[in-house]
A and B are shown apart, each in its own frame.
Chain A
Amino acid sequence: GENVEQHPSTLSVQEGDSAVIKCTYSDSASNYFPWYKQELGKGPQLIIDIRSNVGEKKDQRIAVTLNKTAKHFSLHITETQPEDSAVYFCAASKDYGGATNKLIFGTGTLLAVQP
């Protein structure tokens, strides 16, 4: 079945450093890849997404890259701040004709940014 692997499970960085989280998906028909940030006791917050027709997307300190051949995508956070500390989930979906279909999530990465 569809599967998304995510690494690392935990990541600790110093404030100001960069953080990279990597995901691999199994279903080659997947074409939509969002990233979510989940703080304790809150719902997942969509922070950036990418579709299979582009290789990279950037929004301020956050960027996502996609390698369709390798079925691999990554989240890059630069100049990390303590408020970036949270659990980050990658996800994959087959999105044809409008709203996204069900999301298959990775297992999450607990990011801790040390002041």
Chain B
Amino acid sequence: AAGVIQSPRHLIKEKRETATLKCYPIPRHDTVYWYQQGPGQDPQFLISFYEKMQSDKGSIPDRFSAQQFSDYHSELNMSSLELGDSALYFCASSSRRGLAGVGQYFGPGTRLLVL
């Protein structure tokens, strides 16, 4: 079965640079979530989108922005990168289209290292 696709899988950036992470949800899933996971930590919710509109917002820094496009893929844009932004970034997808009980399915993640 098709899964969530994330790109790139690995990314190395310098401080103060920008990064763009991409997420392609499972086909027919219309909701996308972004999570950040630090080393040895649990995933922390950043932001979510449904039908291209922001549906919820968590502990996402103002330096980060995200959007969902008409084909339901999503991009997380990170500017003025800091050392503390080094983490695994996961995208998850789900569906609201009458599919009650559809949980969140996670992608393989993007490992971001800020030097």
By a CB distance below 8 angstroms, the chain B residues around A107 are 41-42
Q: Pick from A13-21, A42-50, A63-71, A75-83 the stretch touching chain B.
A: A42-50
Q: Are A99 and B42 in contact (CB under 8 A)?
A: no
By a CB distance below 8 angstroms, the chain B residues around A51 are 101
Q: Are B96 and A98 in contact (CB under 8 A)?
A: yes
Q: Which of A43, A99, A102 contacts B106 (CB 8 A)?
A: A43
In this complex, how many residues of chain B approach chain A with their Cβ under 8 Å: the count is: 32
A114 contacts B by Cβ under 8 Å: no
A73 contacts B by Cβ under 8 Å: no
B56 contacts A by Cβ under 8 Å: yes
Chain B interface helix/strand/loop/mixed: loop
How many A-B pairs fall under 8 Å by CB? Answer: 64
Kindly state the separation between the CA atoms of A89 and B37 in the bound complex, as whole angstroms.
12
Q: Which of B35, B43, B56, B104 contacts A46 (CB 8 A)?
A: B104
Q: Are A100 and B45 in contact (CB under 8 A)?
A: no
Q: Are A103 and B45 in contact (CB under 8 A)?
A: yes
Q: Are A43 and B42 in contact (CB under 8 A)?
A: no
Distance in Å: Cβ of A85 to nearest Cβ of chain B: 17
Q: Are B42 and A46 in contact (CB under 8 A)?
A: no
- In the assembled complex, 7 residue pairs joining A and B whose CB atoms fall closer than 8 Å, in A order, are A43-B106, A43-B109, A51-B101, A97-B96, A98-B97, A98-B98, A99-B30
Residues of B within 8 A of A (CB): 4, 30-31, 33, 35, 41-45, 48, 50, 55-56, 58, 90, 94-109
